[in-house]
Amino acid sequence: MLQISLAQPADIPVIQDIAFTAWKPTYGHILSEEQSRFMLDWMYSSETLHQTMEGHTVFLLAKEENIAMGFAAFEPKEGGIVKLHKIYFLPISQGRGYGRQLLDEVSKQAVQAGGRYLELNVNRSNSARQFYEKLGFEMVREEDNYIGNGYWMNDYVMRKNLL
C-alpha cells in the first residue's frame, strides 16, 4: 500500500532524485538531451522547488515501506480548476497502480480546496495520455508554450471533472 504525505522543503532532494531518475525513460525519446537538461535545471533546481513550495503549490510524496517512489504537485487556480503540475514515479514502481492512487489523493485534496476540475498538460508525444484517459481525463485543447532557450512545450491540456 502506498503512503502519501505532504512533502516538506527537506524532501526537495528526494523530489529531485525521483524527477531526474524518471525523466529519461519518460522523455528520452521525445526531447533532446539539451532540452531535457534545460528543463530539469529550470523546474527542479532547489531554489525553484523552494519557491514553488512556499507559494500555493502542494507537493505530495508517495512512499512504499518508507521508500519514496513518486510525487505530485498541484495548485488551485481560478474557476474551480486545480492544476496538476507534476506527477512522476521511479521507473521501478510503475505498473503497480501507484499513479492512480496518487491521482485519487490529489483529486480528493483538490475537491477539499474547492476544485471542480483537475487539469494537466501532457506532451503530445507522451504515451501517458492514454493513462490519463483511462482515469477519466479528456483532452480540451492543444497548447504550445515557449519555455526559453529556443524550446517549446507542445502539450495537450487534459481535464477531469471532479464532481
**CA-closest candidate to residue 19, choices 84, 91, 79:** 91
Q: 3-state class of 158 per DSSP?
A: strand
Rg (CA), the chain: 15
**CA-closest candidate to residue 74, choices 64, 89, 65, 84:** 84
- Mean pLDDT to the nearest integer, 141-156: 96
Question: Exposed, middle or buried, 144 (CB in 10 Å: 0-12/13-18/19+)?
Answer: exposed
Q: Which three cell numbers stand for residue 65?
A: 515501506
User: pLDDT tens across 40-67, in order?
Assistant: 999 999 999 999 999 999 999 999 999 9
Tell me the β-bridge partners of 89. 70
List strand residue ranges (DSSP E) for 100-137, in order: 117-123
Task: Write out the DSSP string of 37-52.
Answer: HHHHHHHH-HHHHHHH
- Mean pLDDT to the nearest integer, 115-143: 96
**CA-closest candidate to residue 18, choices 90, 76, 74:** 90
User: pLDDT tens across 13-38, in order?
Assistant: 999 999 999 999 999 999 999 999 99
Q: Which three cell numbers stand for residue 156?
A: 495537450
Sign, CA dihedral 145-151-155-160, equals negative
> Do 62 and 3 form a contact (C-beta atoms < 8 A)?
yes
Please check the confidence at residue 154 and state whether its pLDDT lies above 90: yes
